[in-house]
Amino acid sequence: MPELPEVQTTVNGLKSKVLKRAFVDVWSDWEKLVKKPTDSNLFKRQIKNKKIIRIYRRAKNIIFNLSEDYSLLIHLKMTGHLLLGKWKLVDNIWKPVDKKSPLNDPYNRFLHIIFYLNNNHMLALSDVRKFAKIELWQTKELEKELQKLGPEPLEDDFTFKRFKGCFTKKRGKIKQVLMIPEIIAGIGNIYSSEILWHAKVHPEKLVQNLKESELKNIYKATQKVLRLGIDLGGDSFSDYRNVNGEKGSFNEQRKVYKRENEFCSRCKKSKIKRIKIAGRSAFYCPTCQKP
Ligand SMILES: [Zn+2]
């Protein structure tokens, strides 16, 4: 599932290309992707001719502030990613106009909604599992909704004091708590395992038992790993691609996620282990991350 670095990579790619453009029309073969409003004809009518004023990320949400106080929210969920380009329908299948474009990558072929922009370009969602969420909000209403989320870990005001404050009165295993968006925004299964490996903290350690020094290490690792993820254009181990349809390269820097039974690259003594925490896989080094 795309996390903060992947969503930020998408947002960065969109900013340079679709700001100040307007939506002209929408095509979809899976109208259930649009959750708000549930009437897809109403959605099409409301988004038509709205200009894109601002694009930003909040947690794992991509948000387009539009003219007339509307906002479009897209959550990529499991396997979604946004693509920019030009396609044409050939025998009822969307094919990229440019045959050499990375948009021809098989992972980019699951187009289920296409927004037509007023510069003859298209913004498409490729989503093999069709779990993505698209919502059109009144901007004020959406802003209120987003206030329920925890702080952004890469903002300047996210100090160690603030980070520590996120865990006050919280209980549970650190791996699980790090992934709760109302506590800290944007961290999912890949980056939580990576962060804890860098911080040398066992994923099952209880938040209420963490020492100050361990919290400090997790804080530093959170910023380091998420920044690295953005610098490398995200992780494309699974379906994620950037708006041009290209892979990110965080994959090469992955230390533990989906590396079970490989030797730890730091201690070189132990093999990476995989355990289940609340139904999700967690990966760690038993030598570097003692219980
Ligand atoms: Zn190790």
DSSP 125-184: EEESS---EEEEEEHHHHHHHHTTS---TTSTT--HHHHHHHTTT--SBHHHHHT-TTTS
How many angstroms separate the Cα of 263 from the Cα of each of 124, 142, 251, 266, 272?
A: 40, 45, 16, 9, 6
User: What is the pLDDT at residue 44?
Assistant: 97
Phi, psi angle pair for 208, to nearest 5°: -70, -15
- Residue corresponding to tokens 């209880």: 206
As a whole number, the mean pLDDT across the chain is 97
User: What is the pLDDT at residue 238?
Assistant: 84
Q: Separation of 287 CA from ligand 1 center, angstroms?
A: 5
Tokens standing for residue 8? 């930020």
Instruction: pLDDT band for 243, please (50, 70, 90 cuts).
Output: very high
Has domain 160-284 been given CATH number 1.10.8.50? yes
User: What is the pLDDT at residue 237?
Assistant: 86
The string of pLDDT tens digits covering residues 154-164 is 999 999 999 99
User: What is the pLDDT at residue 269?
Assistant: 97
Amino acid at 145: E
Helix (H) / strand (E) element for 197: namely: helix 189-199
Report the C-alpha gap between 252 and 243 in whole angstroms: 20
Please give the positions annotated as active site.
2-3, 60, 280
Q: Separation of 212 CA from ligand 1 center, angstroms?
A: 22
Has domain 4-146 been given CATH number 3.20.190.10? yes
Summarize the confidence of residues 185-206 as an average pLDDT: 98
Summarize the confidence of residues 104-124 as an average pLDDT: 96
Closest of 101, 108, 82, 116 to residue 2, by C-alpha:
82
The residues of the chain that CATH labels 3.20.190.10 are: 4-146
The string of pLDDT tens digits covering residues 11-54 is 999 998 999 999 999 999 999 999 999 999 999 999 999 999 99
Whether the pTM exceeds 0.85: the reply is: yes
Summarize the confidence of residues 54-77 as an average pLDDT: 98
The residues of the chain that CATH labels 1.10.8.50 are: 160-284
Q: Separation of 112 CA from ligand 1 center, angstroms?
A: 42
Q: Separation of 265 CA from ligand 1 center, angstroms?
A: 7
